[in-house]
Structure 1
């Protein structure tokens, strides 16, 4: 989807913005003596989008200025008198791409597909994509030769004629230091207070005129909705409407979530009586419904397209009510739970006795063996590719999905294609991103891309009028959790202990005490039972030449059959889902019109 576009005519930059998205407030244009800024998304807060855009232009428009990037979910183009700046926030929710050749940029857009029309497909990108579902957002590569991604937290400076002057990673301002002083151990309750304050600020920044919260009955989404309701009720947020959005399953395992959902809704409405409850019937849905559309139409292959039908129905309900933001509980699992990769730090620094003691506590709290805990959080982060290869050899035993982890080449990806186009190099890069030199810190960077992959929200934004937003992935929340010692966050048998304590005065007892939530496995299994044969037929009938060059289709179809029988694990399913989405994307590439919405000229600088 193209929300903005920058091109050059006669050596002068020409900037356009999508007219419909500008009317909805999703694109904001401001001008001053320093130049003109077009911001897709929001800077600072959803409510003050114009003020945030003006602040961005004021900070970066000054000659020689190099400030830190502000918080928000945005992509921005600033056309100043002496230079052009392209930037995205650190968490990279809104895409931004440039088409470059010989050190000169010829066009900038939020749509890679629009920039890449007619360009050759870049096979290196597909190797990067297939290493795991975190690969896309932090790689410059795109599916199209000559089209590059501007990375999260990056500022690209161009001359007014489009010459590239530099690409500089910038960081958001550090959040307020947590109350627990370094080296003193946690004070009772202080960690919870820090997290509560950070979450309140994160929710407040995302409160629009009509905000929606997805409520599932779990601790995470209920916490966000409760904070939103309380902020409105106490006047700490500007007056506005609040919609409580949830999906209802009348049968099957997911129907067991209904009592928790009812209790969550009752408590939220007690704090915010004016909140409107919207229950969407999703009992007839299955994963992979209309997979050709959800996987084939995005700008880039969408690894989580199989789950798009569920979110699409909820998004449509929120759009009908005129919501301008939709908040979720995504990101809480990796961000506000105890960080098990702390064990790697203990082993790395020679504290083996302490590591062993804490590994036993982790094992007892998670009902796992000590060997499994050490393997997952000490050995695998140290030797990720080797650990995956050994695991695959031990567990595969004649199956396609057995033992397939995050980085190893899936058996349906042809070895010749992988060697020719850098699959191993991509796997090394991905493993370094996921674990890094300090895996306990890399967890938070990787969580941003793993917890909330939402290309669906971006693709639907023009018709829905909002972007999906995730308070748990707010930089301030992550900064608080990053600095807390392990002793403050780990409570055996009680996941997300700090969050539960932080929300103790708001969460109803039944939800505050629950440790297990029903997963969406039934929706996935039903989707494979319903659409498995269709998926295999679509793969076998694919005509794009790259499909046969890249995949052994019969081996991929065998993986679909195994997944339908319940063979494999979540990692294996992710790899198969990503590959199926890529087949559909390639097959529909020639059928996609790529038509853009109506645009309006923004500036014509000389």
Structure 2
């Protein structure tokens, strides 16, 4: 989807924005003596988008030391009298791309399809994409040759004529690399108070004029919805501008979530009776419904397109009510739970006895073996590719057996993988996921794995909002990253800090639950319903890159194995990614989401 476009006419920059998205408040344009800013999304506060855009324009325009990246969900083009800046927030929710050749940028857009050519694809990107679920948002590569991604938190500087001057990573003031925490630290209650304050701030800055909160009956989404309700009630005396959005299942495994959903809705409305519950019946929804549309029409390959039917139905319900933002509980699992890679820090700093004692506590609390805990959180982060190869050797016999996050799936042709850098892509992805300090890399990786937002972006013109995730707010991440394990880990009690932080609000049945029903039933139902269609999609694919890249029959065998329940979540992710790529390549000749109803913006000071 193209929300804004920058190109050059007669050597002068020409900035245009989508009139439809501007009317919805999703694109904000401001001007001052310094220049002009076009911001997709919001900076600082979702409610005052113009003030945030002006602040970004003024702060980024100052020469000298670069200011920290402000909070928000945005991509922005800033045109000054002597230069042009392209930037995104650090969470990288909203895309921004530029087409460059010979050191000169010829166009900038939020749509990679509108900048690229379907006849000039970048094979290295597809290896990078297939190496892991988190490849897209933190890699410069795009599917099209000559088109680059502005990375999260990055500032790309151009001359006023489009010459590339530099690319500068700019981080927010969150503690991504804090000092090693001391043995002493805050107790659980003090840690809970810190988290509560940070989470309230994160929810508050994301509140819109009409806010929807996804409520599933879990601890995470219920916490966000409760805080949103209290903030609105404190401001206005009621919460009439709050929508409580939920998908409800009356059969299958997910029907077990319904009592918790009812308890959550009752608790929220007890605090704010005017909040409007919107319950969407989802019994007829299955993963992979209308897959070729959801995966084929995406701006770039979308690994989570198989889950789009469920979310699209909820989005449509919120859009009908005029919501301008939708808050979720995504990100809480990795961010506000105790950090298991603390064990890796103990091992690499030589505290083996302490590591063993804490690993035993982790094993007892999670009902896993000590060997499993040490392998997952100490050995694998140190030798990720070797650990996967050993697992693959043990899991032979099926296409999905032993297939983890980085190993080459058997349906990816080895010749293509060698020619276009699959091994290097796997190494790069493993370094991103684990890094030199896995306990810190967890938070960076969580930002991308917990909240795949390409569906939200793809539907924004229709829905009038983007998803937003308070648990992935930089302040929330900073709060959790600086807390020692002693303050966060309670054996058998996941997310102990969050439960303590929300103890006065969460109803007892939700506060006390430790296991939530996963969406495996939805996935299995989708494969039963659409497995033959997915196999037919692969076999009938006409794009030459599909046959060059994949052994189609082996991929079809993987689909059949997944349909039978073989494999695990890691191997299923690899199948889903590959199917989405096939559908995307087949949809390349469809009409792209080029800028329609464009509003020209004065780009001069």
After TM superposition, give the deviation of residue 182 of structure 1 in Å.
Answer: 4.7
Is 1:304–2:333 an aligned residue pair?
no
Partner of residue 379, structure 2: 379
Partner deviation per Cα, 1:347-370 (whole Å, 9 max, x = no partner): 000100000000100000000000
Is 1:331–2:331 an aligned residue pair?
yes
Q: How many angstroms apart in 2 are the aligned matches of 1:467 and 1:506?
A: 27
After TM superposition, give the deviation of residue 594 of structure 1 in Å.
Answer: 4.0
Q: Within 5 Å, give how 1:124-523 maps onto structure 2.
A: 124-174=124-174, 182-235=182-235, 241-396=241-396, 398-523=397-522
SS at match of 2:77: strand
Q: Within 5 Å, give how 1:555-570 maps onto structure 2.
A: 555-570=554-569
Partner of residue 530, structure 1: 529
SS at match of 1:41: strand
Q: Which moved more, 1:61-70 or 1:136-145?
A: 61-70
CA distance change for structure 1 residues 239 and 355 in 2, over 3 Å: closer, same or farther? same
> Contact conserved, 1:59 with 1:65, CA < 8 A, in 2?
no
Partner of residue 94, structure 1: 94
Partner deviation per Cα, 1:20-42 (whole Å, 9 max, x = no partner): 00011100000000000000000
Q: Within 5 Å, give how 1:114-125 maps onto structure 2.
A: 114-118=114-118, 120-125=120-125
Q: Within 5 Å, give how 1:11-50 maps onto structure 2.
A: 11-50=11-50
TM-score (normalizing by structure 2):
0.98
CA distance change for structure 1 residues 74 and 552 in 2, over 3 Å: closer, same or farther? same
After TM superposition, give the deviation of residue 598 of structure 1 in Å.
Answer: 1.3
Task: State how many pairs are aligned.
Answer: 604
Q: How many angstroms apart in 1 are the aligned matches of 2:497 and 2:33?
A: 47
> Contact conserved, 1:400 with 1:411, CA < 8 A, in 2?
yes
CA distance change for structure 1 residues 102 and 113 in 2, over 3 Å: closer, same or farther? same
> Contact conserved, 1:359 with 1:370, CA < 8 A, in 2?
yes
RMSD value over aligned CA atoms? 1.7
Q: How many angstroms apart in 1 are the aligned matches of 2:393 and 2:163?
A: 50
CA distance change for structure 1 residues 265 and 17 in 2, over 3 Å: closer, same or farther? same
CA distance change for structure 1 residues 232 and 510 in 2, over 3 Å: closer, same or farther? same
After TM superposition, give the deviation of residue 68 of structure 1 in Å.
Answer: 1.2
After TM superposition, give the deviation of residue 603 of structure 1 in Å.
Answer: 1.6
Q: How many angstroms apart in 2 are the aligned matches of 1:275 and 1:239?
A: 5
SS at match of 2:242: strand
Q: How many angstroms apart in 2 are the aligned matches of 1:139 and 1:175?
A: 22
Q: How many angstroms apart in 2 are the aligned matches of 1:142 and 1:176?
A: 26
> Contact conserved, 2:158 with 2:164, CA < 8 A, in 1?
yes
Partner deviation per Cα, 1:352-392 (whole Å, 9 max, x = no partner): 00000001000000000000000000000000000000000
Which stretches in structure 1 are left out of the alignment for 5+ residues? none
> Contact conserved, 1:208 with 1:240, CA < 8 A, in 2?
no
TM-score (normalizing by structure 1):
0.98
CA distance change for structure 1 residues 237 and 62 in 2, over 3 Å: closer, same or farther? farther
SS at match of 2:426: helix
After TM superposition, give the deviation of residue 596 of structure 1 in Å.
Answer: 3.2
Q: How many angstroms apart in 2 are the aligned matches of 1:40 and 1:481?
A: 29
After TM superposition, give the deviation of residue 260 of structure 1 in Å.
Answer: 0.4
Q: How many angstroms apart in 1 are the aligned matches of 2:374 and 2:360?
A: 9
Q: How many angstroms apart in 2 are the aligned matches of 1:239 and 1:516?
A: 30
Q: How many angstroms apart in 1 are the aligned matches of 2:32 and 2:222?
A: 42
Q: How many angstroms apart in 2 are the aligned matches of 1:594 and 1:354?
A: 55
CA distance change for structure 1 residues 175 and 324 in 2, over 3 Å: closer, same or farther? farther
> Contact conserved, 2:36 with 2:604, CA < 8 A, in 1?
no
SS at match of 1:590: coil
CA distance change for structure 1 residues 471 and 81 in 2, over 3 Å: closer, same or farther? same
